Structure 1
């Protein structure tokens, strides 16, 4: 595929989504596709001033949107879901171009957007509060949920559209405008998503105020302006733990609210009673899919010593035979790394693993006919102990494998890392299964049995990323983060509050 042809595909796809943004801005931000390393667009960027203006527009929109009845707000999200269905293939293609995902993965991400829209439409009629028992006779106490305010959304390159929609679908039905700062590596997908939402807004009519949803293109200075603005009630950020350690304190300093979905040094445990065929398939997909660039990628694997010699040879065979290639031209399972920095990080982690006695299978760069792109053979690393790079998340297809003999001890090693988002155990032993799911078991927001670490559905809200106490932005009761709670007490009796020692003349 030539540079021009990929650029033309980008233009055609953006146009099909309804985006009229200029893709050839002189001196603008260069958007490089990991598919072949070519520049597919140059975009004008925002700065602190334009970010402030966008936040002001969102603040004005909030004053109007919060007064629209919630079921009516749900109608906008219903229309958005319809428009997403029409543009599923085009948006999926943009994900492939900018993030290097396979077409099925790209469209799968758009399907998650459609799913959360369906969820949010029903939610728009279920923003329930409680009636609370009160100790005072002749009184009633209840809680009411109100719109919170402007929601700032920051997303990472590896999921360039779904996390925005997880946030925005809920925020919109809850009565909140959204301002989105996508990764500077994947802004085209964000602009395409906004164009699709704009089509829904046009169908919805004048009740949707200007500034209800906006996209900001730029680097860290744009994110900083969004995070530090006191007019932004909630910051929902998806990315690395390093990013979270910057964002969290800045928002806390101004007493804002945060949702942080950060890194995942996720692990699986394969027990002696496991269905090995089931486990192998789940491990291979969870560790190698999206070239290891998921927050839910399986990165550590603990295998019982009795079955280690069955599991590891089978995994080595899978790692040696997995297909690697251009996601727009082949049906390969593994596409490219996002850029050269990711390849350098992977190489450094493998070198460190070797220095600690690890045996590395795979991990080298693959030639797929695109010299400026970074395609790699996924790496399976047999480690003698749980140390060094095993304790850190490397955003690349590396799976560290270690033996274990005692289930209680392996649970300690499983939990002995930061950034644990998801986890799995493969077993048919009821005691092991229930222990893994218990309070002393996995400390991750997702704890799965006989299924891999990836593949979360929008109905479940992760339960919280363990280092931050944050969590996923969709499903369950995640909607409460986008609203503020008010407790109301109503006195319908003839009794007046006691005011001892006070004389009233009425």
Structure 2
């Protein structure tokens, strides 16, 4: 396996202005020195030190919050299309740095370079979407029951939007939230995962020129790069932040939701998925196989939309199983920056331990490992983060199957009737993404009906991962119920107000009430 220098990482770091040690606090164009200890970022690709970040302390966080609070009254008065113009320019700037930022995402997080580029493209796409949305922050006009009255509703900015993002999408999830929040008139405070702080710092360095040239007030776009050592529950409990968008595990999300709810704050929770694909006798097996493999091993199984369970009709179970096992054995595992690699490493050794534990639990509950389930530790895999993707035959009720394993572990489950398949599909605590492969209209429509998938995303003849930004993204049940990105997800970033105007000289009361003074 080549070293990182041979893949151009040092050049990418120079383009992104990533130093050996970086400040982790930014209020737009001003970088502040954090009071916290330095934290080191090591690449799961080769185990090498990428750079260090001077972490923000709790006091630093509080200072940034005050800066954001002072910026909000000015920013909300900027016309929404003018805010959209700034977002448009941010999208153009991201286009200039797509390759080096995609490379850093790949190197610091571990997803293959093509996926790193795809993540930056998501940022660009949501900028384009948000620009149009800035002219469509619409409300509705209603007919009043009272004579000479007009009713309508409208949307106003909330204030500070806190964005807590996960390691698996180091930059895109921030953009999904931040670009919409900005056109809605909110200010943004980003706390990225402590495992991928350099990606967040690079993003803020990229957009700084746009903010400076447009004289965007300091405090509108903020970064607090730190770990839970310094900033944990305080952000969720902070009454200065009316909305927190949290992406992460269900366990942490439940805690965050409780803290936010206790102060009657608003939350967008994007939590775990246990995503399944149903393969019927009427499926195109070749198409299904390709979708399954990408969904299960892409990002080394570390997407919230990764395919975890395959529910296969008994008549096509054996041929699909054989095809999948064969393809798994030929998938290239290696350095994510190598263009021939299809599967990179897990994020760290802790994730590897979780993966190996899940393999043992599958065996203990009666499942059969068909392939994979081991760690690669030979030449070129010195980071200790590379695993062989696994396929297991299981039953849906197994405890390990009911819980999401954030790693490339795919479960095969048989079914005989479609109703049984849908019941199996829905019989997990999570409800994010789902898919069914079939060319039978009756089967596909039932899956999309109220009797079908209980997930926030339901697809036909495409896999569970790789959602477009034009649709609202999110799920139900233990996935948290939040929605980000497209459709009308923008409404979450604003407060709704109903307005009634009396343009007469009389004062009729609603419901015909008589009250004469």
Q: Residue 210 in 1 paired to residue 218 in 2?
A: yes
Taking the aligned partners of 1:479 and 1:121, their CA distance within structure 2 comes to: 12
1:468-487 superposed matches below 5 A? 469-487=480-498
| Alignment match, 2:323 | 314
Taking the aligned partners of 1:275 and 1:244, their CA distance within structure 2 comes to: 37
| Alignment match, 1:418 | 429
Taking the aligned partners of 1:301 and 1:286, their CA distance within structure 2 comes to: 11
| Alignment match, 1:408 | 419
Deviation at 1:133, TM superposition (A): 1.5
Judge conservation of contact 1:99–1:186 (CA < 8 Å) in 2: yes
1:296-445 superposed matches below 5 A? 296-360=305-369, 361-366=371-376, 367-384=378-395, 386-445=397-456
Cα distance per residue 1:269-322 (max 9 Å; x no partner)? 100111111111111111111110101100011111111111000000011110
Judge conservation of contact 2:46–2:382 (CA < 8 Å) in 1: yes
Taking the aligned partners of 1:4 and 1:309, their CA distance within structure 2 comes to: 42
Cα distance per residue 1:234-288 (max 9 Å; x no partner)? 0001111011011100001111100011111100110011111111111111111
Change (3 A) 1:382 1:70: same
Judge conservation of contact 2:166–2:192 (CA < 8 Å) in 1: yes
Unmatched runs of 5 consecutive residues or more in structure 1: none
Judge conservation of contact 2:432–2:474 (CA < 8 Å) in 1: no
1:92-491 superposed matches below 5 A? 92-204=102-214, 206=215, 208-220=216-228, 221-360=230-369, 361-366=371-376, 367-384=378-395, 386-462=397-473, 464-467=475-478, 469-491=480-502
Judge conservation of contact 1:268–1:301 (CA < 8 Å) in 2: yes
Of 56, 63, 69 in structure 1, the residue corresponding to residue 66 of structure 2 is: 56
SS in 2 for 1:441: coil
Judge conservation of contact 2:289–2:324 (CA < 8 Å) in 1: yes
Taking the aligned partners of 2:379 and 2:344, their CA distance within structure 1 comes to: 10
Judge conservation of contact 2:271–2:480 (CA < 8 Å) in 1: no
Taking the aligned partners of 1:435 and 1:80, their CA distance within structure 2 comes to: 42
Taking the aligned partners of 2:338 and 2:311, their CA distance within structure 1 comes to: 36
The 10-residue stretch of structure 1 (327-336 or 146-155) with the greater mean CA deviation from structure 2:
327-336
Deviation at 1:497, TM superposition (A): 3.7
Taking the aligned partners of 1:180 and 1:422, their CA distance within structure 2 comes to: 26
Cα distance per residue 1:169-202 (max 9 Å; x no partner)? 0000000110000000000000101111212112
1:23-34 superposed matches below 5 A? 23=22, 28-34=38-44
Deviation at 1:500, TM superposition (A): 6.0
Change (3 A) 1:235 1:27: closer
Unmatched runs of 5 consecutive residues or more in structure 2: 24-32
| Alignment match, 1:13 | 12
Deviation at 1:36, TM superposition (A): 1.1
TM-score computed with the length of structure 2 as normaliser: 0.93
Taking the aligned partners of 2:374 and 2:300, their CA distance within structure 1 comes to: 13
Taking the aligned partners of 1:175 and 1:219, their CA distance within structure 2 comes to: 28
Deviation at 1:4, TM superposition (A): 8.3
Change (3 A) 1:446 1:110: same
The 10-residue stretch of structure 1 (445-454 or 192-201) with the greater mean CA deviation from structure 2:
192-201
Taking the aligned partners of 2:305 and 2:489, their CA distance within structure 1 comes to: 19
SS in 2 for 1:232: coil
Taking the aligned partners of 1:453 and 1:439, their CA distance within structure 2 comes to: 19
SS in 1 for 2:291: helix
Change (3 A) 1:68 1:20: farther
TM-score computed with the length of structure 1 as normaliser: 0.95
Judge conservation of contact 1:266–1:422 (CA < 8 Å) in 2: yes
Cα RMSD for the two superposed structures: 2.0
User: How many residues end up aligned between the 2 structures?
Assistant: 500
Cα distance per residue 1:23-52 (max 9 Å; x no partner)? 499951111111112222121111211111
Taking the aligned partners of 2:315 and 2:336, their CA distance within structure 1 comes to: 38
SS in 2 for 1:180: strand
Judge conservation of contact 1:444–1:465 (CA < 8 Å) in 2: yes
SS in 2 for 1:321: coil
SS in 1 for 2:156: strand
Judge conservation of contact 2:270–2:480 (CA < 8 Å) in 1: no
Taking the aligned partners of 2:497 and 2:344, their CA distance within structure 1 comes to: 49
Judge conservation of contact 2:402–2:428 (CA < 8 Å) in 1: yes
SS in 2 for 1:31: strand
